[in-house]
Chain A
Amino acid sequence: MRIVNLIWKEFIQLRRNVLLSFFVLLIPMFEFALMTKATGREIKDIPVAVLDLERSTASREFIKLVDETHRLKVSFYPQSQEELEELISRGKAILGLIIPQGFGAEVHDIYAILDGSFVTPASLGLSGLYEAIEAFSSSRLREAGLKVKGGIKLESRILFNPTYDVRHFTLPAMVGFIVYQITIAIASISLVRERELGTIEQLMVSPLRREEIILGKGVVAFLVGFVNFWLLLFLATKVYGVPFRGSPALLGAITALFLAVESGWGLALSTLARNPQQAILFVFIQVMVDVAFSGFIVPIKNLPLYLRVIAFFTPLQHYLFIIRSIMLKGAGFFALWPRILALIILGAGMLTVASVNLRRSLE
């Protein structure tokens, strides 16, 4: 019963600051909506600058094919190579295409300049260019009345996300990121703040047991994260149309486990910090390292072994894998059990460390 009162006290504290409770529930949703809007569904219309030195029907046909590829958009027609390079250096065009004189007759080369300072769009643009070249070559062959003989064609079926919708990949990750950060931020600052304000002493001399004080704080961080999780999940699936193919109960249970671990960990960070400023720094470091290892920027399976070993110790990485697999692939417990087990083992370890740390710090 006492613990319920204590949790209630935490909520009263949260509610007293109307602004804070507003932030805690509405800002994540608002931000999520904004980021979704700005992410877009796919990477398309990468700007291309074309310098056509040939100006023939063939070259115009080729430029049209480039523009027709899904990924590229011919946006500029510079008149000289300097002008083309200028467009690239200013970041207006990611790709510059030079069609030499004699193109389509005796010359079979095309020159491209890429903006290597921005790798993802540059390499995607390059693949779009190959697509256009392929289309051009086969249409030429057709025109020449030559039938392509032999050869092998690859027909691909992109499973789970057939339209390459980038949102299907990033939105589940964003849900995970946001609830993770909220939980760890609220947990990590709660204890250290009471200590700084001197109210922790008041709690200590009250009849409450130490475990109860900590549990109360942990539960609040957990609940804020968990409520946010369902709100964001609702937005992602109902408003932004990310499919949910798996079991909501399974995802809910795993999320609960994950957030419990993170709030315990946040409280432990709180004991390491001497003041809230240090707490935010710890959270900052923790969050950035976790993001790096989360598989969002670089897929974990592409990392060398020792980094994969380190990545194993970040719960966020397992959680993001699980949330994506459940939502997009409809993966069930049997497909995911190694990850779930990893999360449980890690969580148990982290909570043990955290509770030892917390007990020591309160004595």
Chain B
Amino acid sequence: MSLRRLKAILLKELKHIARDIRTILLVIISPSFLLLIMSSIFGLEVKNVNFAVMDLDRTELSRQFVQKIAATEGYRYRGEVWSYDKAYELLRSGSLDVVLVIGPGFTSQVNRGEEETIQALVDGMDPIEAIGTFYDLQAMVRAYGQEIATSSLLPSRSLQLLYRARYNPSLESRTSLIPGLMAIVLTLPAMALALSLSKEWETGTFEALVASPVKGVEYLMGKLLSYLGIGFISAFLTLGVAIFWFNIPFKGSLADFLLFCLIFFLASMGVGLFIGQSVKNQQATMFITLIYFIVPSFFIAGLVLPLREESPIDVIASYALCTTHFIKANRGIMLKGLGIAQLMEPALMLILIGLISIILGFASFRKRLG
């Protein structure tokens, strides 16, 4: 490897970039732009539960109960329904989330001091939403029950839970999601690298390079370094959006963040290099990069739901993704203020992915040219 030739390659890549500034600007700006758009959506959500009541009791007390829930923030009373069929129909079309059924003996039962049951039909299509709504309702119903109960033994004996959420006291989903989303949007430079490589193969410019004194390895290095530069600019921009626009705390050190960016870019670009290098067809490259970098990152990289580590397949599937480790590390650095010492595991995993893919990429490159 000669530095002079490497410099020449870097210069060539820079010229490419200058010639097609539109593409490069897109690569640089897209991650922060996407983070801005996506994160604007999260954290603005408010509870919005549409409920109706099937009141078979029709007394003062049952109406009071309905009013109580209707007055709760986030609960919207959508009127009464008169049959289970109608209730199911409205739940099925998604116009209602909950139907509360108050039985005919509600008031008399309560007045007699017996425990009374209210039935809630909950739309379980989104299980996480459904669980939340159910616990909410349960708490409201219990509180109301205690209010009207004849004997109030419960409150004095029951346990009090005092909790505090570390790192994110009000449990805002935005704070939790943004460091993770940063990892996903920052895979874009690696995808662009993969595509630019397969483009060179497809248009035959690689052959031209082979005829030149530049060595293949130098060429790949030059390519990698120029995209690494692009990646770092993108990383700074996204970090800026996260900190200054969304006020996400940054408790760790910038050095650790940059170090993780470096190994994350090396790993993701290594994979990109390997894909672009072995597929050599732009359509296929695009397809595979989307399917490796984007699709699984939303589902199995630990962004929204915790990682599942029950069987070796689960672990391999999640751990093979660069985003899994960067999501974990970035949350650790930004929200928890962890340093590299506590984040050895994700760091080593990224280095491992990077090493394997870069070696494979370079090896297949040699073979093809040889």
Give A residues with C-beta under 8 Å from B: 17, 19-20, 23-24, 27-28, 31, 34-35, 37-40, 42-43, 46, 85, 88-91, 94, 108-124, 126-127, 129-130, 133, 136-137, 140-141, 144, 146, 148-162, 164-166, 168-170, 174, 177-178, 181-182, 185-186, 189-190, 193, 196-197, 274-281, 283-285, 287-289, 291-293, 296-299, 301-304, 307, 321, 324-325, 328-331, 335-336
Give B residues with C-beta under 8 Å from A: 20, 22-23, 26-27, 30, 33-34, 37-38, 40-42, 44-48, 50, 88-89, 91-94, 110, 113-132, 134-135, 137-139, 141-142, 144-146, 148-151, 153-154, 157-169, 171-173, 175-177, 179, 184-185, 188, 191-192, 195-196, 199, 202-203, 279, 281-284, 286-291, 294-296, 298-300, 302, 304-308, 310-311, 313-314, 317-318, 328, 331-332, 335-336, 338, 342
A28's partner among B27, B48, B88, B291 (CB-CB below 8 A) is: B291
The answer to whether B296 touches A197, judged by C-beta atoms less than 8 angstroms apart, is no
Specify which chain B residues have a CB less than 8 angstroms from the CB of A122 in the assembled complex. 165, 171
A150's partner among B48, B113, B137, B302 (CB-CB below 8 A) is: B113
Known: A109-B160, A278-B23. A91 touches B176 (CB 8 A): no
What are 5 A-B residue pairs whose CB atoms fall within 8 Å in the complex?
A38-B318, A112-B164, A165-B127, A196-B203, A325-B92
The answer to whether B283 touches A159, judged by C-beta atoms less than 8 angstroms apart, is no
Q: What 8 A-B pairs are tightest by C-beta distance, nearest first?
A: A116-B168, A150-B149, A116-B165, A152-B145, A161-B124, A151-B145, A335-B93, A158-B124
Specify which chain B residues have a CB less than 8 angstroms from the CB of A137 in the assembled complex. 154, 157-159
The answer to whether B127 touches A277, judged by C-beta atoms less than 8 angstroms apart, is no
Specify which chain B residues have a CB less than 8 angstroms from the CB of A94 in the assembled complex. 306
Known: A43-B305, A281-B23. A299 touches B45 (CB 8 A): yes
Specify which chain A residues have a CB less than 8 angstroms from the CB of B196 in the assembled complex. 277
The answer to whether B124 touches A159, judged by C-beta atoms less than 8 angstroms apart, is yes
Known: A160-B124, A161-B124. A123 touches B171 (CB 8 A): yes
Known: A117-B331, A277-B192. A140 touches B157 (CB 8 A): yes
| Cα-based distance from A159 to B125 in the complex (angstroms) | 8
A151's partner among B125, B154, B161, B288 (CB-CB below 8 A) is: B154
Decide if the interface of chain B is mainly helix, strand, loop or mixed: helix
Specify which chain A residues have a CB less than 8 angstroms from the CB of B165 in the assembled complex. 113-116, 122
The answer to whether A89 touches B338, judged by C-beta atoms less than 8 angstroms apart, is yes
Instruction: Return A20 CB to nearest CB of chain B, in Å.
Output: 4
Name, among A85, A156, A161, A336, the residue most crowded by chain B CB atoms within 10 Å (CB to CB).
Answer: A156
Known: A114-B164, A153-B141. A276 touches B199 (CB 8 A): yes
Instruction: Return B209 CB to nearest CB of chain A, in Å.
Output: 18
| Cα-based distance from A284 to B195 in the complex (angstroms) | 13
| Cα-based distance from A120 to B173 in the complex (angstroms) | 8
What residue of chain A has the Cβ atom nearest to residue B204's Cβ? A197
The answer to whether A177 touches B295, judged by C-beta atoms less than 8 angstroms apart, is yes
The answer to whether A89 touches B336, judged by C-beta atoms less than 8 angstroms apart, is yes
B128's partner among A120, A197, A279, A293 (CB-CB below 8 A) is: A120
| Cα-based distance from A192 to B27 in the complex (angstroms) | 18
**Other CB < 8 Å A-B pairs besides A35-B295, A193-B202, 14 of them?**
A27-B287, A43-B128, A46-B306, A114-B164, A114-B171, A116-B167, A116-B175, A117-B176, A120-B305, A137-B158, A140-B157, A297-B298, A303-B45, A307-B40
Specify which chain A residues have a CB less than 8 angstroms from the CB of B114 in the assembled complex. 150
Specify which chain B residues have a CB less than 8 angstroms from the CB of A38 in the assembled complex. 299-300, 307-308, 313-314, 317-318
Specify which chain B residues have a CB less than 8 angstroms from the CB of A158 in the assembled complex. 122, 124, 127, 130, 134
Specify which chain A residues have a CB less than 8 angstroms from the CB of B313 in the assembled complex. 34, 37-38
